[in-house]
């Protein structure tokens, strides 16, 4: 059966959507499945060998889910089409080929910082002393300097605005940009400037990709949406934006859901408001945190179990989890990571639940030596390898070894070819040496970073890895993903880590406050306009059958019962 044949009547209406169109979709409405079916329908009638569809998403998770659905239904989305993140499209088709025109550098731009590898640069005087912080700062849509990651490990901390530090940061950015370096936020900023200054690039892109589909569009930034607007201005006539502003939880990363709402008001639109995930009872109560005009209708045929607010104590949080698990069993829910989730806003809950100690705020993790572009890659790669991510771990270690051998900041095709020529080996021989190196490394479990580095140096002639300073941190504390783990056969993780996922049962653990006390946020109303309340909305719309919310005290319990209309029903 094709994807199209599996659509509901409501979902099939999207197949006829053309022109500039916005689809708003409630939680559990089958948004991603509908987008995939729309792609299938377009591909069935696509005749051009040189023009394609750009199928984009804000996150890797969303586009990979679309790609997985296509593959499972034997649908091939290959050249001339493109599928990936909005950032990856911008990089490939705008910034990397043309960025030098706006950056005034004499080479193809080089992306640095996460997710492209760690950034490190030697210190100096004046602006050069600030080179090491290049990846932490970028530009807003007006060209003003902004921080795009936490500056608290910097020598100046978080207080840099309107100080001499700001001047040095601006000058350091300018100098390194002229050398061809850019982080992802820089890439998006310069891509927009390119489209403004060179409209022929926009026209060429529209000719190459006459149809755009953008999933999770509620999380686009002001700069990303401005890039979309430039394409529309220069001839893009067919574009489908898909999302839910009530599930926008990336404002801390400069997402602006109001831009999606404005497009919904200005363009043709539709809404998917039938919930294929949750019971009607869950829909009835979670609705009060949404901006939907009417409550979603459940078509999921789930058991009608009333959500419950309970009080928990941090000292006995595992007793609360045990009670939740027993309630799941009573309701016929099998306990495994796919069915049962314990989720929270703060990553600190992982340590609380598992009795572990992770590097948090106030702990210096900036331990990598200036000008050392390889040690972090090697250590992180072995950590990934030891935890079952063999492909990513091998790649990180391989790149670390190439950087060590060449003393280069990044790895390109040319870098690899030059290294292989200098050591007179082919790629297969080099990969074999990488595997041998991996086998010589100690296991990263329960070992300090200092002892791990020492063991590498002792076991490998010609390798001399160093740290900027001694550290008592373990390798696990440096690299453990505290957003998502397993505990008591349940999935535990942050709200952001489960966005888009479905569970049979969900326990949400809430503190008393986030940016403000939750009771204050509840009293202020307009929940869909407040990101922290949207976080809660995302969390409580994950389960099919069973929802429990655990709060620290009676005052919070009564406040949440009031807002979700759970009192006296």
Q: In the chain, what are the domain boundaries?
A: 3-92+191-272, 110-179, 280-355+486-564, 374-478
Question: Torsion-angle region of residue 33: left (phi > 0), alpha (psi -120 to 50) or beta?
Answer: alpha
Burial class of 525 by CB neighbour count within 10 A (0 to 12, 13 to 18, 19+): exposed
Question: 304 with 279: CB under 8 angstroms?
Answer: yes
Select 280-355+486-564's CATH number: 3.40.50.300, 3.30.910.20, 3.40.710.10, 3.40.50.12780: 3.40.50.300
Tokens 């199209």 sit at which residue?
4
Q: Identify the bridge partners of residue 467 per DSSP, sorted by sequence position.
A: 368
Question: 533 with 560: CB under 8 angstroms?
Answer: no
- Among the listed residues 345, 380, 351, the one whose alpha carbon sits nearest the alpha carbon of residue 114: 380
Question: Torsion-angle region of residue 424: left (phi > 0), alpha (psi -120 to 50) or beta?
Answer: left
Separation CA 398–CA 390 (nearest Å): 12
Tokens 């197949």 sit at which residue?
15
Question: 180 with 111: CB under 8 angstroms?
Answer: no
**What does each C-alpha distance from 561 to 245, 505, 555 come to in angstroms?**
24, 19, 10
Question: Dihedral of CA 524/526/531/532: which sign?
Answer: positive
How many other CB atoms are found less than 10 A from the CB of residue 335? Answer: 15
**What does each C-alpha distance from 370 to 122, 133, 231, 409 come to in angstroms?**
5, 11, 41, 11
Exposed e or buried b per residue across 465-497, where buried means at least 16 C-beta atoms within 10 angstroms of its C-beta? bebeeebebbbbbbbbebebbeeeebbbbbbbb
Separation CA 407–CA 369 (nearest Å): 13
Query: What's the CA angle centered on 151, arms 387 and 385, to 5 degrees?
Result: 10
3-state SS, one letter per residue, for 143-198: CCEEECCCCCCCCCCCCCCCCHHHHHHHHHHHHHHHCCEECHHHHHHHHHHHHHHC
Question: 345 with 252: CB under 8 angstroms?
Answer: no
Phi, psi of 221 (to 5 degrees): -85, 170
Locate 554 and state its tokens.
Answer: 């009676």
How large is the C-alpha radius of gyration of the chain?
25
- Among the listed residues 79, 81, 505, the one whose alpha carbon sits nearest the alpha carbon of residue 331: 505
Pairing status of strand 308-311 against strand 484-487: unpaired
Pairing status of strand 274-275 against strand 297-298: parallel
Domain 3-92+191-272 has CATH 3.40.50.300: yes
**SS3 state at 247:** helix
Separation CA 202–CA 341 (nearest Å): 44
Query: What's the CA angle centered on 19, arms 17 and 20, to 5 degrees?
Result: 100
Helix (H) or strand (E) holding 20: strand 20-25
Question: 59 with 217: CB under 8 angstroms?
Answer: no
**What pLDDT is attached to residue 344?**
93
3-state SS, one letter per residue, for 270-294: EEECEECCCCHHHHHHHHHHCCCCC
Residue 47 neighbours by CB under 8 Å, 6+ apart: none
**What pLDDT is attached to residue 448?**
85
Locate 559 and state its tokens.
Answer: 């406040």
Cα 380 to chain center, whole Å?
Answer: 19
Helix (H) or strand (E) holding 320: helix 317-330
**In sequence order, what DSSP letters do the residues of 332-391 get, joined into one string?**
T---STTTEEEEES-THHHHHHHT-----TTS----BPTT--SHHHHHHHHHHHHTT-HH
Locate 492 and state its tokens.
Answer: 């535990």
**What pLDDT is attached to residue 482?**
56
Half-sphere exposure of 512 (CA within 13 A, CB side): 6
Task: Say if 3-92+191-272 and 280-355+486-564 have the same CATH topology.
Answer: yes
pLDDT in tens, the chain (569 residues): 688 888 888 888 888 888 999 999 999 998 988 999 999 999 988 999 999 999 999 888 888 888 888 888 888 888 999 999 999 999 999 999 999 999 999 989 999 887 776 776 666 676 788 888 899 999 999 999 999 887 666 767 777 888 888 898 999 999 999 999 999 999 999 999 999 999 999 999 999 999 999 999 999 999 999 999 999 999 999 999 999 999 999 888 888 999 999 999 999 999 999 999 999 999 999 999 999 999 999 998 778 899 999 999 989 999 999 999 999 999 999 999 999 999 998 878 887 887 766 544 444 456 777 777 788 889 888 988 888 888 888 988 998 899 889 888 778 778 888 889 998 989 899 999 999 999 989 898 888 888 888 888 888 888 888 887 666 677 876 776 656 677 899 999 999 989 889 999 999 999 998 888 999 999 998 888 899 999 999 999 999 999 999 999 999 999 999 999 998 65
How many other CB atoms are found less than 10 A from the CB of residue 500? Answer: 16
Helix (H) or strand (E) holding 261: helix 257-266
Strand order, beta sheet including 490-494: 308-311, 543-551, 503-509, 340-344, 490-494, 484-487
This prediction has a pTM of: 0.83
């Amino acid at each position: 059966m094709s994807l199209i044949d599996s659509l509901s009547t409501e979902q099939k209406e999207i197949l006829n959507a053309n022109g500039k169109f916005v689809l708003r979709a409630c939680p559990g409405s089958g948004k991603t499945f509908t987008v995939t079916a729309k792609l299938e329908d377009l591909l069935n009638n696509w005749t051009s060998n040189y023009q394609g569809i750009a199928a984009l998403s804000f996150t890797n998770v969303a586009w990979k889910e679309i790609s997985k659905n296509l593959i499972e239904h034997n649908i091939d989305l290959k050249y001339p089409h493109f599928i990936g993140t909005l950032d990856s499209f911008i990089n490939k088709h705008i910034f990397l080929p043309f960025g030098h025109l706006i950056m005034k550098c004499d080479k193809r731009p080089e992306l640095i910082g996460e997710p492209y590898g760690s950034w490190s640069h030697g210190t100096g005087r004046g602006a050069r002393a600030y080179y090491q912080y290049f990846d932490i700062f970028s530009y807003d849509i007006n060209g003003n300097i902004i921080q795009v990651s936490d500056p608290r490990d910097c020598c100046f901390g978080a207080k840099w605005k309107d100080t001499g530090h700001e001047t040095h940061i601006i000058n350091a950015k300018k100098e390194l940009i002229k050398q061809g370096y850019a982080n992802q936020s820089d890439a998006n900023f310069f891509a927009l400037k390119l489209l403004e200054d060179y409209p022929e690039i926009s026209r060429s892109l529209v000719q190459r990709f006459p149809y755009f589909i953008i999933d999770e569009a509620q999380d686009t930034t002001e700069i990303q949406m401005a890039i979309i607007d430039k394409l529309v201005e220069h001839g893009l006539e067919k574009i489908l934006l898909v999302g839910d502003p009530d599930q926008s939880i990336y404002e801390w990363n400069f997402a602006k859901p109001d831009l999606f709402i404005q497009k919904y008001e200005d363009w043709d639109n539709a809404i998917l408001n039938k919930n294929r995930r949750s019971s009607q009872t869950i829909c009835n109560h979670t609705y009060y945190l949404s901006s939907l005009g009417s409550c979603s209708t459940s078509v999921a045929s789930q058991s009608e179990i009333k959500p419950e607010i309970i009080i928990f104590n941090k000292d006995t949080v595992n007793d609360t989890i045990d009670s939740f698990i027993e309630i799941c069993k009573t309701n016929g829910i099998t306990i495994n990571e796919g069915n049962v989730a314990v989720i929270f806003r703060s990553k600190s809950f992982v340590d609380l639940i598992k009795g572990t100690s992770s590097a948090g705020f106030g702990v210096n993790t900036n331990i990598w030596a200036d000008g050392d572009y390889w040690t972090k890659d090697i250590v992180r790669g072995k950590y990934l390898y030891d935890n079952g991510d063999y492909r990513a771990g091998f790649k990180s270690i391989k790149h670390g070894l190439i950087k060590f051998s060449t003393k280069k900041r990044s790895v390109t095709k040319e870098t690899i070819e030059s290294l292989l020529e200098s050591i007179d080996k082919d790629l297969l021989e080099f990969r074999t040496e990488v595997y041998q190196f991996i086998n010589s490394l100690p296991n990263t479990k329960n070992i300090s970073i200092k002892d791990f580095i020492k063991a590498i140096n002792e076991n490998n002639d010609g390798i001399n890895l160093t740290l900027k300073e001694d550290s008592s941190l373990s390798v696990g504390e440096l690299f453990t993903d505290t957003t998502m783990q397993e505990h008591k056969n349940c999935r535990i993780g942050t709200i952001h880590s489960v966005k888009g996922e479905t569970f049979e049962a969900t326990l949400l653990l809430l503190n008393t406050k986030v940016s403000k006390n939750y009771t204050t946020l509840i009293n202020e109303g307009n929940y869909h306009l407040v990101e922290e309340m949207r976080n809660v909305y995302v969390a409580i719309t994950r389960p099919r059958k069973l929802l429990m919310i655990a709060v620290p005290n009676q005052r919070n319990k009564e406040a949440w019962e009031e807002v979700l209309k759970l009192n006296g029903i």
